[in-house]
């Protein structure tokens, strides 16, 4: 493969990541089966961009003198707007499915239902409040920007490894169609996630955030295997939300 062809391949994969993980107008980027797995290395890059949108919203709100909590809510709202609440939808579906009880098949059926239940509502409210509160407690826009970019990048960096090492719960659906990322993709995404933590947080906070991310991914893998026999696209969304919350809380607690 020539250098030009390789570069075009990387750009295409970045476009695939943007098209899937955001609502940004990236045309013709989503390919066939397995294209998302090949683009998995781009997830933390896309996450950093999403975090930057949130940082801009916080900066604008702070500029006009709004209260830090209001600015924090607007920052979270900006990220929801950019992503189309993709991961929040996964969190709500996972909470409803895992919380409902019953058989594995019943839980998977609930997770596919477009309606939201009590567990899903509670999970979404807690997720938004925790993120907005953590962002607000940072107060300073530069600290907010660094924490948001680190949180969104690092949380998405965990997804390729989860997709590769945790078996799929269904033979169809998003996770099955996405395919399995290569080890190279997993490692590249992990390096980008580590870089985001190292650059956005102080060393002690970055280490704490990394430990929390590994613990969250390990727990989610155990829980998904126990509840439904593996991972789905909804479980991936729930993992991203957990990672995002934990990194922001780590950043807020280390002030």
What is the per-residue pLDDT across 67-93, written as a single tens digit (0 to 9) for each? Answer: 999 999 999 999 999 999 999 999 999
pLDDT value at position 170?
Answer: 82
pTM of the model: 0.93
Q: Where are the alpha helices (DSSP H) in the chain?
A: 3-21, 35-38, 43-63, 68-83, 86-100, 104-112, 118-138, 141-165, 174-178, 183-200, 203-228, 233-253
pLDDT value at position 176?
Answer: 60
- Quote the percentage of the chain above a pLDDT of 90: 85
Give 23-70 pLDDT, tens digit per residue.
998 865 666 667 899 999 999 999 999 999 999 999 999 999 999 999
The yes-or-no verdict on residue 131 having pLDDT over 60 is yes
- Quote the percentage of the chain above a pLDDT of 70: 92
pLDDT value at position 240?
Answer: 98
Dist CA 52 CA 147 (whole Å): 10
The yes-or-no verdict on residue 155 having pLDDT over 80 is yes
Give 225-249 pLDDT, tens digit per residue.
999 999 999 999 999 999 999 999 9
- State the average pLDDT for the chain: 93
Angle ∠(185,187,192) on CA atoms, nearest 5: 95
Q: Which residues of 105-133 are buried (b: 16+ CB within 10 A; e: fewer)?
A: eebbebbeeeeebebbeebbeebbebbbb
As a whole number of angstroms, the longest Cα–Cα distance in the chain is: 54
Least Cα distance to 151 among 95, 216, 89 occurs for: 216
Kindly indicate the confidence band of residue 172, based on its pLDDT and cuts at 50, 70 and 90.
Answer: confident
pLDDT value at position 230?
Answer: 96
**Which of 10-19, 160-169, 184-193 has the weakest average pLDDT?**
10-19
Dist CA 38 CA 133 (whole Å): 35
């Amino acid at each position: 493969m020539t250098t030009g062809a390789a570069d075009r391949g990387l750009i295409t994969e970045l476009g695939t990541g943007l098209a899937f993980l955001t609502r940004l107008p990236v045309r013709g980027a989503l390919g066939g089966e397995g294209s998302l797995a090949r683009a998995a290395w781009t997830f933390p890059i896309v996450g950093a961009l999403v975090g930057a949108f949130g940082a801009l919203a916080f900066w604008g709100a702070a500029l006009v003198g709004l209260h830090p909590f209001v600015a924090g809510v607007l920052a979270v709202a900006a990220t929801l707007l950019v992503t189309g609440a993709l991961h929040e939808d996964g969190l709500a579906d996972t909470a409803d499915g895992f919380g409902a009880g019953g058989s594995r098949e019943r839980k998977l059926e609930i997770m596919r239902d477009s309606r939201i239940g009590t567990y899903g509502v509670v999970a979404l409210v807690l997720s938004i409040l925790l993120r907005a509160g953590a962002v607000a407690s940072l107060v300073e826009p530069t600290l907010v920007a660094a924490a948001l970019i680190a949180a969104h990048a690092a949380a998405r960096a965990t997804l390729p490894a989860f997709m590769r090492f945790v078996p799929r719960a269904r033979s169809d659906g998003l996770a099955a169609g996405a395919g399995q990322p290569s080890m190279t993709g997993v490692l590249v995404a992990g390096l980008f996630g580590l870089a985001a933590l190292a650059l956005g947080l102080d060393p002690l906070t970055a280490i704490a955030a990394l430990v929390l991310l590994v613990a969250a991914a390990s727990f989610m893998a155990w829980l998904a295997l126990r509840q439904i026999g593996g991972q789905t696209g909804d479980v991936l969304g729930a993992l991203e939300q957990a990672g995002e919350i934990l990194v922001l809380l780590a950043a807020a607690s280390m002030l």
